[in-house]
Amino acid sequence: MDPHAGTGRVVLPTNVRPTHYDLTLTPDLVNFTFHGHVLINLDINKPSTAITLNSNQLDIISAKLTNLALKTESSQDATDITLEKANETATFTFAEELQPGSTAVLHIVFKGVLNESMNGFYRSSFKDDEGKTHYIATTQFEATDARKAFPCWDEPAIKATFDVTLRVPSDLVALSNMNVISEKEVGHSGKKGDVPSTQKGDIPSSQKGDVPSTQKGDVPSTQKGDVPSTQKGDVPSTQKGDVPSAQKGDVPSSQKGDVVGHGPLREVKFATTPVMSTYLVAFIVGKFEYIETVTKNLPTPITCRVYVLPGKTEEAKFALSVTPLALEYFTELFGVAYPLPKMDLITIPDFESGAMENWGLVTYRSIRLLFNEKTSDLSYKRHIAYTICHEIAHQWFGNLVTMDWWDYLWLNEGFATWVGNLAVSKFFPEWDNWSYFIADGFQMGLALDGLRSSHPIEVPCKHPHEIHQIFDAISYYKGASCIRMLSSYLGLEVFLKGIRRYMQKHAYKNTSTEDLWAALSEESGVDVGSFMNTWIKQVGYPVVDVEEDADASTLTFKQSRYLSSGDLSAAEDTARWTVPLGLEPVPNHGNSSPPMLTGDSTTVKLDKGGHYKVNADYNGFFRTAYPPAALARISESIKTKDPLFTSSDRVGLLADLGALSKSGHVKTSSLLGLLESFKDEDQYVVWVAIAERLNVISSVFYEQPADFQKALEKFQRALFSKAAAKLGWETKASDDYRSILLRKLLLTNAGCAGDEEVVEGAKKRFADYTSGNTEALNQNVQSAAFEIVVLHGDEADFEKVLKCWRDATATDQKLAAIGALTTVQNEALTQQLLKISVSDEVKAQDIIYFFGGLSRNPTSRHTLWEYIKTNWTMLTKRYDGSMALLGNVVKSGVGRFASEEMAKDAEDFFKDKNVADINRPIAQSLEVVRSNAKWVARDAEDVREWFISRGYLA
């Protein structure tokens, strides 16, 4: 049965299927081309004279077919080669028909360009200490770009084994998914465009006829699944595609040949891979150094290496320390051994996403892998640990067991996000990681899913061009949040037993959501599908309204769909969810099942009236709307530090009230009143949530009069200044992880709100720092001082921070400077930043840091949008092939306005543009703007009156 039947998916014919690829590639890092040949072992399923596979942006030189079923060799050249650009396929036609049940080898010779599009087989670059440019050939295949590197069946369910051979300059490192099994010198590289004679259609004699059995799709016995006995900010921290892609265009001729001439080549052969999907294949060539370790607690030790650019090995030590911990933990957790002999992590200078889970060779942005204990901001450490754990979790959940089609992307990303956070919480319990998840990823999932233009977790994808648009907060963060909810509902141990059952049953295979539900249901005895399908298959989530009787001892819960716009119609309010209410204290009614809301409403009797919370630790993916009397009691509980409300609860309460203010469920003054209760808060992650609520109000209400803005700043100082003064600028011997991060957060928010003492402290330390006293600002408050100085300083201060950015060698130091520079209040300096952002000074992938910062800055927001409109043609050309990045450019340009006028302006601009590949981010941005506009129209006067009543506004 064809699993794609009736789905409308653009997929390949099923007449033949590959079982093994023998791929040889020769990249040319002088002329930025590559040539290669691939021998593909095929099983013939139907009578065939034509073979169609995926190929995109490749020049196919020849194709030959050898029938292995005949006693005497029978080879035939393709009589026709047809390329179809729209569906990214190549069809080879042969004169003699292949018969079902037979096997054959398809031999293709091809060449291509090492592009700068950050996908396929592409080139990256870096400058050494002497300013000399070096080039790297590297890959990024997810979702459908393996076809840009070699002709293949580029669908996740068409798995095969791979032999990879790279012919590379002798002075460069060559890496692939597996370990190296042989190396030899093979002479010099040819002229530009030449294909070596052995690659012009002949099958080497050693490869004619039968292919060794271990290469016909079988997995070597040891690889068949046997288990040996054994911030501020709102950019998703790990979301794939949310970080920009690289600059296109030819490299100037003056840069060609800086690294590699036509010198001697080395042929590097790698071991045969396990059965795997094409999107997980990887190969990299360049100048790298590495540090290594070996797992200590696995029956078969795994070699772990972190590859970095020359001179960066010191910054790889933290990543190397986390890697074996993750491998050992996930081996135990999943009950299946890691099937490869090595685990390589590597930084790539030009990289679109945060990281990519290629089996055995995981690629990273440097900011997601490198950490310098002496100079790096501590806040990056948690992100690095999480990203490593997320990607290593994929080695099982995604690589070993793979989604059947991209509809089930969430199985990969949602689970890896959840279990990555689970691992970080185990390795670093002092970080309070789950509370940070509630403040960060959880809120991003809720925010996106609160839009009409959201999509279900499990979303149909028909064409490859649609796939990149679902690498978003729904697949990652709503997916992870629903997994977290389910694990809490079943109990963590039962849930993990079900995961082990799923892993062991489906190793080296492909699955759908229903396969996961089946394994969990078998283990738990619960019908998991009936519980979870309301969350997975329908868009949105509920807001649960709580009603109390006179003494708050009887509670009635009602659910309806939450929309941030607040204009839900009766026709739209038809979806219902199975909601675990998470009520605490749990009523003692002799019923072992915790209270659930499955229909429109349910009623629960408490043991003691008035003292309760809903959605304990925010395990459930919904908003809670408490009645005013309950909010008043909660406010007092916050002031008295009632232990019923954990840090996760306090974070979630603030976020819920912020969202409910935006939608009109409550007045924004209710949120402001609750915020006042947090003046004596002592937990860093709760302060993150406090800052975020104020930042959102400031951003959305940015067009209110000056007296309104001054009142908001005064309120911000009332919340932050006391705590900032207590911690001060200087580090203390008693500082721990959270207090170090809290210091930066408090100083930044107090200083940006105009706290004179903090501003003066920042200016003094900044002056000392830029005068040569690097001890004046330690790395953990540097970004705070930079931001305060630019915001409250003059052009000379801006230029000094700009120089700090230019002089910085570490990525995190550069990002701290960019974050500060984009708070500038001067139009001319804003224009200067925009010019810099698309110059050779900035990696094209990093434009989003400039655009994101300028978007968050109300003063520069409109200037940024005008720049994007004026330069749209340049931007679309520059990021052609990196649609996720272009979508983020749109979100930065449009998504923070708060008027119907600006929504209409953006709508009119995109009306006649070819934006099919970014229609989701455009629709989502416009909806956010219109929701913002309704919020301002509804509550601007309410906020003003509250400021007056509390003395913040005369």
Which residues are part of the catalytic machinery?
Answer: 391
Cβ neighbour number for residue 443 with a 10 Å cutoff:
25
Euclidean distance between CA atoms 735 and 749, whole angstroms: 20
Which tokens go with 523? 């283990």
Is residue 578 left, alpha or beta, with left meaning phi > 0 and alpha meaning psi from -120 to 50? beta
Q: What is the DSSP string of 26-40?
A: EEETTTTEEEEEEEE
Residue 187 host element (H or E): strand 180-188
Distances (CA, A) of 704 to 388, 484, 804, 825, 858: 43, 40, 34, 17, 11
- Any idea which residue has 């095969």 for tokens? 160
User: Alpha-carbon torsion 164, 167, 169, 170, what sign?
Assistant: positive
Q: Helices 706-727 and 756-770 sit at what angle, rounded to 10 degrees? A: 70
Residue 539 CB burial class (10 angstroms; 0-12, 13-18, ≥19): middle
Cα separation, 118 vs 239, whole angstroms: 16
Query: What's 145's DSSP letter?
Result: T
558: burial class by Cβ within 10 Å (0-12, 13-18, 19+)? Answer: middle
Between CA 784 and CA 792 the distance in angstroms is 12
**Using CA of residue 581, residue 583, residue 588, residue 593, what is the dihedral sign?**
positive
CA dihedral 433, 438, 444, 447 (to 10 degrees): 180
Are 140 and 130 in contact, with CB atoms under 8 Å apart?
no
CA-nearest of 349, 201, 173, 187 to 262 is: 187
Q: 18: closest CA among 142, 98, 106?
A: 106
Got the DSSP string for 569-635? -TTTTT----EE---BSPP-SS--SPPEE-SSEEEEE-SSTT--BSSGGG-SSSEEE--HHHHHHHH
Judge if the upstream peptide bond of residue 585 is cis by omega within 30 degrees of 0.
yes
The residue assigned the tokens 């204990």 is 373
Measure the CA–CA gap between 352 and 140, rounded to whole angstroms.
9
H/E stretch holding 717 reads: helix 706-727
Bridge-partner residues for 80, per DSSP? 93
CA distance linking residue 74 with residue 98, whole number of Å: 11
What is the CA 557 to chain-centroid distance, rounded?
35
* Residue burial 135-165, b: 16+ Cβ < 10 Å; e: rest: bbbbbbbbbbbbbbbbbbbbbbbbbbbbbbb
Calculate the CA 937 to chain-centre distance: 34
Closest to 327 (Cα-Cα) out of 347, 342, 314, 317:
342
- DSSP 8-state secondary structure symbol assigned to residue 272: P
Token couple for 886? 């272009």
Q: How far is CA 768 from CA 98, 731, 763, 808, 818, in A?
A: 78, 17, 9, 17, 20
SS3 string, 396-434, reads: CECCCEEECCHHHHHHHHHHHHHHHHHHHHHHCHHHCHH
